[in-house]
Structure 1
Amino acid sequence: MSRPRNKDDAAVDEALAECRETLKQRFPLPSSPPARKPRKGSKVLPLVLLALAAGVAWKDPAYRNEHFVTQVGQRQAIQLADGSKIKLDGGTEVRVSWHLRTRQVALVRGQALFDISPMHYRPFLVDAGNADIRVVGTRFNVNMYAGDVRVTVAQGKVAVTGRAADRTSLLMPGQQVVVQQGIPGEVVKGNAEDATAWQESRWVFAGTPLAEVVAALQRYYAQPIELTDPDVGKLPLSGVFSSDSVETLLALLPEILPVKLSREGEAVRIQPQAEKNNSPTR
């Protein structure tokens, strides 16, 4: 129990009160700082960071690059990090770049078969010279030759856009399109098995222009093959041939088409059969 207060207690309280007042006068407490107003920048900064992030995503920068090249007569199978597969024909070069929003491949030259893992939020883009190809998940073949591009679809859907015309062709399985000088042609039926027979060392030509045939041969033949006349390159060739014997096919050409072969140094020249020799006769 607390004891009852007396006169001495009251006197002590009064003395302590006087001491406190004296101390406050000699040693005044610092005044409290005014309340800070929130800076406008504190709200603006998150917006700036968000805008920067959106800008980076919009530009879709590459964070990883890969480069693959096959020599003449060599084929190569590539397994990509996302599970996609690319098979390169002979004399083919591709550049693979991984971006934030897309997967991209530049087909610099040659022919390649693409088997793409589906990613709806991250499409697969192929730059094939005069043609742009966009897919989500599919299997298709791209053949570049003499500045033109032939795209054949085995599975899925493929959108092909020409660089010289603002027109896009949508290909379904069993269809193909040829992009000439950056302009997509008519979508026609295409046999994917024939288009990809090069994997098994076979060429299947069905009315194929000789210029495209020569491009296929050149991927397995180190010496240059030249067409002396543009019209010769338009001659159609049909048949099944082995890519292991390019010399045999070259020897057969004059028996199948109205052409003749000649050699100039290391180059093989294919010219019209009726072309006159302008060299002086003795």
Structure 2
Amino acid sequence: MTRQPSQAPLDDALGRHREQLKQLFPLPPSRQAPSKVLRSAGITLLLALAVAALAWLNPTYKREHFATAVGERRAVLLNDGSRLLLDSATQVDIRWRLLSREVGLRAGQALFDVAPAVYRPFVVAAGLANVEVLGTLFNVRRLEHDEVRVTLARGQVKVEVPGAAQTPAVLMPGQQVDAIRGQLMPVAKVDASRAMAWKDDRIVFAQTPLGEAVALLRHYRTAPVRLDDPGLAALKVTGVFEAHKVDQLLDLLPSILPVAVLREQGGEVRIQRKPTGK
């Protein structure tokens, strides 16, 4: 029978020369198991997709609502340091989003003093118009029929009507723009202090059409004010009046314009054309 050579001498020789063999034939560097590499890459990809989805969805994490009654004025300090001053009969909804701050002006008018936040623009939606700003002082007023007026006192704002084939209007201080019937009107130069005089309890009319003036006065009375004759809407009103004394202004109208003011039971006021010869 042939005997196999003993393995012991060979093991002894390998043991004595193990270090020399390691230097002559170094082992390749250890590598992470393919399954672990793929798992790590998958987690990174999922995190990136989650962040991208959040940025795209821009989710709302908080909602607030503020309103004023007829004749009330209210100052609101927001969590980001922005300040709102709400005029009489005004309603705003605020949505705090991950990447933006959004205010919906449902009725009335408000003065916005916005705290800057480069990565979280402040957007006001009123009627069909959107106003976007990073930090500024501006006034937004809802007129009738979803029409909107934006007046800028400080900073810079962009006003646009989403879906309209128009270039957004970029306002500089002392400029104003109206959005009427889904279209932006030409930018006008104005005295911003007049548009914002209501914060000091004053209403300033400067060759203001009577129809527009009456629409504003409605926000300061619980009972309605009506123009019986649409032809009266183009008459111009000029003067400075106290916002809490709207009824005194209505009583003065016949001495300013060719109109008659009739008061009905319940407080309703009707403005009619003054009869000929009176």
Under a length normalisation based on structure 2, what TM-score does the superposition of the two structures give? 0.81
- Cα deviation for residue 175 of structure 1 reads 0.6
Q: What SS is found at the alignment partner of 1:120? A: coil
Q: What SS is found at the alignment partner of 1:81? A: coil
Does residue 219 of structure 2 align to residue 213 of structure 1?
A: no
Q: What SS is found at the alignment partner of 1:66? A: strand
Match of 1:130 in 2: 128
Q: What SS is found at the alignment partner of 2:35? A: coil
- Cα deviation for residue 36 of structure 1 reads 6.1
Does residue 138 of structure 2 align to residue 140 of structure 1?
A: yes
CA distance in 1, matches of 2:84, 2:153: 14
Q: How many residues align?
A: 242
Match of 1:181 in 2: 181
CA distance in 2, matches of 1:131, 1:191: 22
Amino acid of the residue matched to residue 174 of structure 2?
G
What 5-or-longer segments of structure 1 have no aligned partner? 1-12, 14-34, 276-282
- Cα deviation for residue 166 of structure 1 reads 3.1
Match of 2:113 in 1: 115
Contact 1:126 1:134 (C-alpha < 8 Å) held by counterparts: yes
- Cα deviation for residue 97 of structure 1 reads 1.1
- Cα deviation for residue 211 of structure 1 reads 2.6
Structure 1 residues 273 and 53, CA, compared in 2 at 3 Å: closer, same or farther? same
Match of 2:63 in 1: 65
219-228 vs 72-81, greater mean Cα deviation: 219-228
Match of 2:91 in 1: 93
Does residue 158 of structure 2 align to residue 165 of structure 1?
A: no
CA distance in 2, matches of 1:87, 1:200: 11
Q: What SS is found at the alignment partner of 1:97? A: strand
Structure 1 residues 186 and 36, CA, compared in 2 at 3 Å: closer, same or farther? closer
CA distance in 1, matches of 2:49, 2:275: 68
Match of 1:26 in 2: none
- Cα deviation for residue 233 of structure 1 reads 2.6
Match of 2:35 in 1: 38
Q: What SS is found at the alignment partner of 1:244? A: helix
Match of 1:154 in 2: 153
Structure 1 residues 169 and 230, CA, compared in 2 at 3 Å: closer, same or farther? farther
CA distance in 1, matches of 2:232, 2:193: 27
Residue by residue over 1:123-155, the C-alpha shift from the partner in whole angstroms, topping out at 9 and shown as x without a partner, is: 100001121100000000111121221111000
Residue by residue over 1:25-66, the C-alpha shift from the partner in whole angstroms, topping out at 9 and shown as x without a partner, is: xxxxxxxxxx96416454233213321221121111110111
What 5-or-longer segments of structure 2 have no aligned partner? 1-7, 9-31
Structure 1 residues 216 and 118, CA, compared in 2 at 3 Å: closer, same or farther? same
Q: What SS is found at the alignment partner of 2:208? A: strand
- Cα deviation for residue 72 of structure 1 reads 0.2
165-174 vs 89-98, greater mean Cα deviation: 165-174
CA distance in 1, matches of 2:40, 2:161: 48
- Cα deviation for residue 119 of structure 1 reads 1.2
CA distance in 2, matches of 1:36, 1:121: 41
- Cα deviation for residue 164 of structure 1 reads 6.0
CA distance in 2, matches of 1:36, 1:79: 56
Q: What SS is found at the alignment partner of 2:47? A: helix
Residue by residue over 1:164-185, the C-alpha shift from the partner in whole angstroms, topping out at 9 and shown as x without a partner, is: 6232111100111111112111
Larger radius of gyration: 1
Residue by residue over 1:59-91, the C-alpha shift from the partner in whole angstroms, topping out at 9 and shown as x without a partner, is: 111101110000000000000111110000010
Contact 1:89 1:199 (C-alpha < 8 Å) held by counterparts: yes
Q: Give 2:46's match in structure 1, choosing from 45, 48, 59.
A: 48
Amino acid of the residue matched to residue 165 of structure 1?
A
Q: What SS is found at the alignment partner of 1:38? A: helix
Q: What SS is found at the alignment partner of 1:231? A: helix
CA distance in 2, matches of 1:131, 1:178: 9
Residue by residue over 1:173-199, the C-alpha shift from the partner in whole angstroms, topping out at 9 and shown as x without a partner, is: 011111111211111111111111111
Q: What SS is found at the alignment partner of 1:251? A: helix
CA distance in 2, matches of 1:64, 1:98: 5
CA distance in 1, matches of 2:253, 2:127: 29
The percent of aligned pairs where both chains have the same amino acid is 45
Match of 2:263 in 1: 263
CA distance in 1, matches of 2:128, 2:66: 20
CA distance in 2, matches of 1:36, 1:124: 49
Q: What SS is found at the alignment partner of 1:140? A: strand
Q: What SS is found at the alignment partner of 1:245? A: helix
